[in-house]
Amino acid sequence: MDYSNQNRNNTNIVTDEGLKEVLQLENKLVSSRVPDALKEESMRSINRLKRMFQMGAYSAEFENVNKYIDWVTRIPWGVLSEDRLDISNAKKIMDGTHYGMDVIKELILDYLATMQLESEGGVRGRNLPSQVPISSNGEINRIQEIGVLKGSSSNAPVFLFVGLQGVGKTSIAKSIAISMGRKFARVSLGAIGDVRTIRGTPRYSIDAEPGQIVKALINCGTMNPVILLDEIEKSSGNSGLLNDVMAALLEILDPEQNHAFTDHYIDYPIDLSNVFFVCTANNLGGLSAALLDRVEVIRFTSYSDQEKEVIGKQYLLPKVLKNLNISTEYIQIQEDVWPLIIRPVGFDAGIRQLERNITTIVRSAARKIIEGERLPIVIDSSNLREYVLADQGPLS
């Protein structure tokens, strides 16, 4: 048997298949929305692969190029979702998911109003009341200028929500996205020990891939989502790494820099100016002064017992019953129960423990329904201990 001819034939098959894959890669890049400069640079790598396959040689570089082209073509270059700028609808959505938080809601509504002004051409695009005098010092022009600047969607604000656990920082960020009609992504920065988690790993390194910001854009499919950077103060306990992380966050959040954010894997400027960033932190310790200068700090206060009772009745109980697919007609919690489950052990700033208490009660009631208990299940202070865990703590 002529093994030399067989090897030659096998080589031809491999190179032909490889050349076909390279051509598919080329078509994928050409038909994508990748910016021309990046497309031209990527095409050089593809042409180099094409020449090697045409010469009958297989290139190990193919896997790296294939992976890189796959990532850059998945980025939604230039794709912007349409904002829903109905203030009354936004207020209705936030009121339906969160009780109180009036200051926070007003700030968000103010921002949506300025965005609406910008979309309508700014103050110049609206008719001023006839009774407003146009002063000689150009005050009206100044108002117009402010309206246009504040309404620019390319200068989205950066909110930093500061407060204890369970006070609603993450959930209000989701409500912002829903009220604006934008996609939502959460990037957890708690305890990250490497800035490459944010910036990505250089293209030819081992396990190279983009950072979490680029991945969030890909998952959302738009360049203007709401991205939550969660627990930014817990990024790293190492002072050197923390400085690197803070510097990366500064580039991401600073409106003077984020129009050309560079991910180390993509190695091409990515415009983040249309992203609505929301950050959360339990405290401001560890955050650099430069970073704090770029954000609007909004403090979340602890819920009072009266607020928790309203939240428990109007938000948490219906939510738990819906999640467990139980009708409100089957389970009833009497008024005298709420003070006992709101503060069973001690003060809790948030509502997570209250939600757990309600869930425990409803599950216990569901078991009694299955066992044939007479409906409706009525829970009051006299029988509450039948529906809570033994180690729940004092309930009276």
Classify 232 as helix, strand or coil. helix
The domain segmentation of the chain, as residue ranges, is 3-74, 87-125+136-299, 305-386
pLDDT tens digits, residue range 270-293?
999 999 999 999 888 878 888 888
* pLDDT(88) > 60: yes
* pLDDT(135) > 70: no
Query: Residues 20, 22, 23, CA angle at the centre, nearest 5°?
Result: 65
Beta bridge partners of 228: 186, 278
Rounded Cα distance, 27 and 49, in Å: 14
Q: What CATH number is given for 305-386 in this structure?
A: 1.10.8.60
Same fold: 87-125+136-299 with 305-386: no
For the segment(s) 87-125+136-299, the CATH number from 3.40.50.300, 2.140.10.10, 3.40.50.720, 1.10.10.10 is: 3.40.50.300
- pTM metric for this prediction: 0.77
Confidence of residue 301 (pLDDT cuts 50, 70, 90): confident
C-beta of residue 210 within 8 angstroms of C-beta of residue 268 = no
C-beta of residue 326 within 8 angstroms of C-beta of residue 364 = no
pLDDT tens digits, residue range 211-229?
999 999 999 999 999 999 9
Q: What are phi and psi of 16, to 5 degrees?
A: -65, -45
Q: What is the number of alpha carbons within 13 Å of residue 244 lying toward its C-beta?
A: 15
Q: Where are the beta strands (DSSP E) in 97-222?
A: 158-162, 184-188
Q: What are phi and psi of 66, to 5 degrees?
A: -60, -45
Rounded Cα distance, 232 and 282, in Å: 9
State how beta strands 261-262 and 269-270 pair: antiparallel
Predicted pLDDT of residue 374:
87
Q: Rg of the Cα trace of the chain?
A: 28
* pLDDT(4) > 80: no
